[in-house]
Structure 1
């Protein structure tokens, strides 16, 4: 089962991906985590990424796709994976499709958690308050101003990825404003269909 989760920050992608990891035994792949692991392991693509980052640059789509290509070859990802927060741009979506096709693979589902963006800031503030009350650290990106910047970047760069997959008949919209359990049920239904 090869999946992509799309949706703005705060939509619940991480919450739902964690549940699917536990239920289906496939890894959730974060490009940031994969990038750090490739650099630490000193893989050829990791060394390229390190050189770019050490120079203060942004890692190219080519390098990120290379890291994803290497990661999905690992044993735990052979029966599937969840990409959460990637692809972030149309160019990355096209490059991902090409890379997967080159390996004889395809995506099974692209799930988009659709939410009322005007209510997301309240959700993020509540999440930060709940973390504080539970004695847990508050995520840096749960600051309302940081969150608004991330939301603007999502709307500018990433929101166009969903129509790309929709045109290809791969997109399944999920109402992300429902309670977590109902979102989970809708996702399970989508994956079963």
Structure 2
């Protein structure tokens, strides 16, 4: 099964992508992970991406598509994959369709995680990160530390990253609406989009997504 997962920042795509890929026994392919992997391995594409990022530029569509194509061609993706963060715009969606068509495949479903914009802002702007370890993340409402402003794990100071400030979040949402949201319409014309209400506990969102998949094949079934 070949799946595209879409949704605004803060919709829980990363969490759901991992869980869905595990249930379906297919690899989770994230553009962020692809960039980091290629950079760490020193591939030609990785060197291109590293230079672009270092100079503050945007990675061109053709480079992103090339990385995704290389990953989708690997043996563990032969029976399917779940794409997270790709395609990011209409040009990438069309390139993906062409790639899959050449190999006799197609996208089976596009899962659109739907979360109200005010909730997205609340989720992201409420995050507080430990200065000692950025993997320790709390939330002013959903995951409060035992001691205000202090990390439960190491006691480090909790702070709000610049990326998590409300004005930055709203800018990220504007970019999503302008660049990525149009792919939902593109795939809807192909009858592939299923909208998943994602304002619910993580297990319930996963259940809804799995139930919505056509002819789903879940690990262990």
TM-score of the superposition, structure 1-length normalised?
A: 0.86
2:203 corresponds to 1:186: no
Aligned to 1:168: 190
CA contact (8 A) 2:39 2:47 kept: yes
Please state whether the residue corresponding to 1:8 is helix, strand or coil. Answer: coil
1:82 corresponding residue in structure 2:
82
How far did residue 71 of structure 1 move?
A: 0.8
* Residues 127 and 160, structure 2, Cα contact 8 Å, conserved in 1: no
Residue 8 of structure 1 deviates from its aligned partner by 0.5
Unaligned residue ranges in structure 1 (runs of 5+): none
For residue 34 of structure 1, what is the aligned residue in structure 2?
Answer: 34
Residue 111 of structure 2 aligns with which residue?
Answer: 111
State the shift of 1:21 in Å: 2.5
1:126 is displaced (CA, Å) by: 4.7
2:10 alignment partner, SS class? coil
In the alignment, is the contact (CA less than 8 A) between 1:30 and 1:85 conserved in 2? yes
2-structure distance, mates of 1:126, 1:55: 30
Cα distance in structure 2, aligned partners of 1:74 and 1:132: 41
Distance 1:143 1:167, change over 3 A: same
Query: In the superposition, relative to structure 1, how do residues 40 and 123 fare at CA in structure 2: closer, same or farther (>3 Å)?
Result: closer
Q: Deviations over 1:94-126 (max 9, x none)?
A: 111112212222111110011211222122345
SS at match of 1:177: coil
Distance 1:30 1:138 in 2: 27
1:22 aligns with 2:22: yes
Cα drift, residue 63 of structure 1: 0.8
Q: Kindly indicate whether the alpha-carbon contact (under 8 Å) linking 1:65 and 1:99 is maintained by their aligned counterparts in 2.
A: no
Instruction: Name the Cα RMSD after superposition.
Output: 2.5
Q: Which structure is higher in helix share? A: 1
Task: Rate the CA distance shift 1:85–1:135 in 2: closer, same or farther, 3 A.
Answer: farther
* Residues 34, 138 of structure 1: alpha-carbon distance in 2 compared, 3 angstrom cutoff: farther
User: Are 1:39 and 1:50, in contact at CA under 8 Å, matched by a contact in 2?
Assistant: yes
Q: Determine helix, strand or coil for the equivalent of 2:59.
A: coil
2:179 to 157, 165, 174: 157
Conserved 8 A contact 1:3-1:83: yes
Larger Rg: 2
Q: Distance in 2 between matches of 1:179 and 1:60?
A: 36
Asked if 2 retains the 8 angstrom alpha-carbon contact of 1:4 and 1:86, the reply is: yes
Show structure 2 runs of 5+ residues with no match.
129-138, 146-150, 216-221
Aligned to 2:94: 94
1:176–1:183 contact (8 Å) kept in structure 2: yes
Number of residue pairs the alignment of both structures matches: 193
